[in-house]
Amino acid sequence: MEGLKTVEDLCVEHKIDIKKLAELSNVDEQRVLAIVLGRWTPSPAERDRIAAAFGLTREQIAWGHKTPIQHIYGSGPG
Strand partners, 6: 62
Task: Report domain extents, the chain.
Answer: 5-62
**Is residue 45 pLDDT above 90, yes or no?**
yes
CA distances from 38 to 34, 66, 71, 75, 77 (A): 6, 5, 18, 30, 30
pLDDT band at 20 (very low <50, low <70, confident <90, very high): very high
- So what's the architecture of 5-62 in CATH? Orthogonal Bundle (1.10)
pLDDT band at 67 (very low <50, low <70, confident <90, very high): low
Higher model confidence: residue 2 or residue 29? 29
